[in-house]
A = this chain, B = another copy of it.
Amino acid sequence: MSDKFFEDFKQGDEIRTRAVTLGEPEIVEFARLYDPQPIHIDKAAAERSTFGGVIASGWHVGSITFRLFLEQSPLGENSMGSPGLDEIRWHLPVRPGDTLSIVITVLEARPSRSKDDRGSVRLRYETFNQKRELVMSFIGVQIIKKRPRRQRSNRWGS
């Protein structure tokens, strides 16, 4: 798949990713490094908790969500980073064996006012499990290069 440019994102577009299944070892390994709470890394303690068993770290689910987006919409060297995210919500626990897939909706695509070579794209990420339940959602902004001028001109036949 070729790398996307700013112009490849249009308001209202929906991007759908492949599905991935999370194993318990992966859940525990991530959480040991970054979110070592008993509900994520300690089977017995997690079973005693309100969650009734090990659940994935929210940081892990978010990171997987973003990775699946990039697989589907590679930005390559067109990516100029992200200023931030908003409204991260963990709606339901993600458990070992759950299969996640993402729907990304383009909320807005706006050329930069001050810099002619780039634009910013506002995306809503929605992470679903195998029962089509929404488990996580957030809004993120990506700064992405525009197509090089020659390529842009070509689109108009010049």
Contacts from A to B (Cβ < 8 Å): 33-39, 45, 48-51, 55, 57-59, 62-64, 66-67, 70, 75-77, 79-90, 93
Known: A83-B90, A88-B84. A67 touches B37 (CB 8 A): no
B89 in contact with A87 (CB, 8 Å): no
21 contacts between A and B (CB under 8 A): A34-B64, A36-B67, A36-B70, A37-B75, A37-B76, A37-B79, A38-B76, A39-B81, A49-B77, A50-B80, A57-B63, A58-B81, A58-B85, A59-B59, A82-B90, A83-B90, A84-B89, A85-B85, A86-B86, A86-B87, A88-B88
A67-B33, A77-B45, A88-B88 known; A58-B38 Cβ under 8 A: no
As for how many copies of this chain the complex holds, the number is 2
Query: Once bound together, how far apart are the Cα atoms of A87 and B84, in whole Å?
Result: 7
Closest-CB distance, A152 to chain B (whole angstroms): 20
Known: A83-B89, A84-B87, A84-B89. A63 touches B50 (CB 8 A): no
* Complex Cα gap A37–B76 (Å): 6
